Structure 1
Amino acid sequence: MRRTDICLYLGPADRAELQALLTNRNTPRKLVWRADIVLATADGRGTVAIMRRTGMSKPTVWRWQERYLDEGVPGLKRDKTRPSRVPPLPREVRLKVIAKTVQETPPNATHWSRTTMAEAVGISPSSVGRIWADAGLKPHIVKGFKISNDPMFEEKVTDIVGLYLNPPDRAVVLCVDEKSQIQALDRTQPGLPLKKGRASTMTHDYKRHGTTTLFAALDVKSGLVIGDCMPRHRAKEFLIFLRRIDRAVKKPRDIHLVLDNYATHKTPEVQAWLEKHPRFKLHFTPTSASWLNLVERFFAEITAKRIRRGSYSSVDDLEGAIYDYLLQHNAKPKPFVWSKTAKGILTRERRALDALDQIRGNR
């Protein structure tokens, strides 16, 4: 059936909007010629003239004329989705992939890849990838995890999280720990610098020049860090650091220390010193729960930003880099914000314990 030219009326608002699309340099090219088709049609131009003007085919001109008649200007701005040429996988296949992923392992590996799963189920690797993405499954990723066996886990979590979320008045909360055995590593060759199309490089081998230990106390409220590097991390060095904290925090404010269960924190010498300095209040994290100590977040940051990719010819060189980082950090401190409530942590812990009990029961 032969199609006659379309006559359409373009209101002032639509004409102004389409003219704006034509004159705006940031308008995508496809919107420009769609607007041009409609404007030319409204001005009385025929199909052949519009084809010559825009360079579009007859079906294309007709399509966008009809789209405007049906949907107005918004219809010109929207591309209709086209159905996939590939038929969707049956629900049974999708469920099979998900079940095998979470319940089984391949015979020659610890986890599934897209290729091995595709071979096992008889579909394409890209289909496996889409199923995993929809189900939120990432078999190639594994994370460290351990549930604390501390019998006072609930009490300690409630205590420490309470310090973070509701710190006591006229007191300072410090998260304290040692980052021990930081190695002064010197690369055997200089690395190549970063450039377009190439990452910076460093050699896989290195020379060891000794180690140091970073004692750090993170002020939860301000983000300031008190830090000292020492050759070892015995009770003797810990006492030196406690005295440094005592000098740094103005009296008579109480000092609440969040720290782990390392043996040097509980020696008779340390206990005797603490008895003479009653403003120090110690709050120990549960065993296997170092993540509860906010200073670990600072250690992760200094490791990633300053230590890991550095090259140090001596321990003094390494310690100089650490002190320089501390100086710049304290010039513009930014506190880490704790947001998880004790109730939320304990709920997740109980859920994890239930899952472990179920796994143990199935063995």
Structure 2
Amino acid sequence: MRVAPTVILTSEELSELSRIVASRLSSVRLSLRARMILLAAEGLQNKEIAERLGVDRLQVARWRKRYLEHRLSGIERDLPRGAPPVKVDVARLVELTTQSKPEAMTHWSTRRMAAELGVSAASVSRHWRKHGLKPHLLRGFKVSRDPHFVEKLEDIVGLYMSPPEHALVLCVDEKSQVQALDRTQPGLPLKKGRAETMTHDYKRNGTTTLFAALNVLDGQVIGQCQQRHTHVEWLKFLKKIDRQTPKDKALHLIADNYATHKHPVVQAWLDKHPRIHMHFTPTSASWLNMVERFFRDITTQRLRRGVFTSVPELIQAIEGYIDHHNTHPKPFIWTKTARDILQKVIRANSHLSSKQNATLH
């Protein structure tokens, strides 16, 4: 039988250990350790102490050894647990994330970066969040190179912020190639604990083009579905707008630079209808047209998860959505001034120019 090392206490140590055990301010852990040492000083073996205190024998042996090596300070500090944490080289982490790419890949992942630096993926994720780094995301952009960008911007934003009196401002555009998609198998409905299901494959049953005009003042939408989107269909839609708006109001139509919008036949018709004034967004700046927001809404709320067995069924769904929208329309409020937008565009161009120059050199 192995005999545990003898513990001999000085009078000061005996007094201090007894105080720790008796004090209500002592932590439970420290009090338990002090009792182990006091019992050990009485000559009890580790097994006997463990049985009396209801702990493991090896635990008693560890704290006996710690006391013999470090005396009181040995039981006042907790034993080190596990391996020491690996420190992350934050500067290198940020540099690799922003200035490099992993071999044969387009971007870093937490696990790939963790393997590169020899740290945990959780540490990488924590520091990415702290520094606002999101290498898994990619945002698209397009800066307009229109030489008349400023005047077109001021013109359109002016219509939004200060619309002219006795006039209507309408944002017009077409959403082409809207597909009537049917699923190859019926999905399962939403239920508790399970999302709605839909097959990834589909049947194409034709397309339609949605022409829409959004009234900036009240959010009302004039819509029309047509088979194609040439200047003929565009002119047909303009005539519908002319019919469905008050004749005593001037119409200011905001549109993009699609060729059909400027077709000679369309221009000839507009010349005969002077109450209609066209305003074209700068090239590559369709985000200035607020009808795009309506197109986004109808896509996410009605089309993307819809099932349509034919084009007429698709058209019926679109017209139903527009009718429902027009029962309680809400206008989209434009808040950015032309100056705010222009400053942002100038900053974007500046960043792009500096990046291109750095690449060339």
Question: Same fold per TM (> 0.5)?
Answer: yes
Residue matched to 1:134: 130
Cα distance, 1:362–1:272 mapped onto 2, change above 3 Å: same
Alpha-carbon separation, structure 1, partners of 2:134 and 2:280: 35
Pairing partner for 2:294 from 289, 294, 298: 298
Residue matched to 1:202: 198
What TM-score do you get using the length of structure 1 for normalisation? 0.75
How far did 1:312 drift? 0.6
How far did 1:122 drift? 2.1
- What does residue range 1-363 of structure 1 map to in structure 2 within 5 Å? 1=19, 2-3=22-23, 93-363=89-359
What is the number of equivalent residue pairs in this alignment? 283
Equivalent pairs: percent with the same residue? Answer: 57
Structure 1 residue matching 2:89: 3-state secondary structure: helix
Cα distance, 1:311–1:86 mapped onto 2, change above 3 Å: farther
Question: 2:174 corresponds to which letter in structure 1?
Answer: E
Q: Deviations over 1:94-126 (max 9, x none)?
A: 122112111111112101100111112222111
Residue matched to 2:8: none
Alpha-carbon separation, structure 1, partners of 2:127 and 2:217: 45
Structure 2 residue matching 1:118: 3-state secondary structure: helix
How far did 1:87 drift? 8.3
Alpha-carbon separation, structure 2, partners of 1:110 and 1:279: 53
Runs of at least 5 residues in structure 1 that lack an aligned partner in the other structure: 6-84
Cα distance, 1:227–1:255 mapped onto 2, change above 3 Å: same
- Asked which structure has the greater CA Rg, the reply is 2
Compare 179-188 and 337-346 and name the one that shifted more.
Answer: 337-346
Runs of at least 5 residues in structure 2 that lack an aligned partner in the other structure: 1-18, 26-81
Structure 2 residue matching 1:348: 3-state secondary structure: helix
Alpha-carbon separation, structure 1, partners of 2:249 and 2:83: 70
Structure 2 residue matching 1:362: 3-state secondary structure: helix
Alpha-carbon separation, structure 2, partners of 1:214 and 1:161: 25
How far did 1:4 drift? 7.2
Residue matched to 1:56: none
Question: 1:184 corresponds to which letter in structure 2?
Answer: A
Structure 2 residue matching 1:204: 3-state secondary structure: coil
What TM-score do you get using the length of structure 2 for normalisation? 0.75
Alpha-carbon separation, structure 2, partners of 1:337 and 1:270: 30
Question: 2:335 corresponds to which letter in structure 1?
Answer: S
Alpha-carbon separation, structure 1, partners of 2:85 and 2:321: 55
Structure 2 residue matching 1:132: 3-state secondary structure: helix
How far did 1:350 drift? 1.1
Alpha-carbon separation, structure 2, partners of 1:191 and 1:202: 5
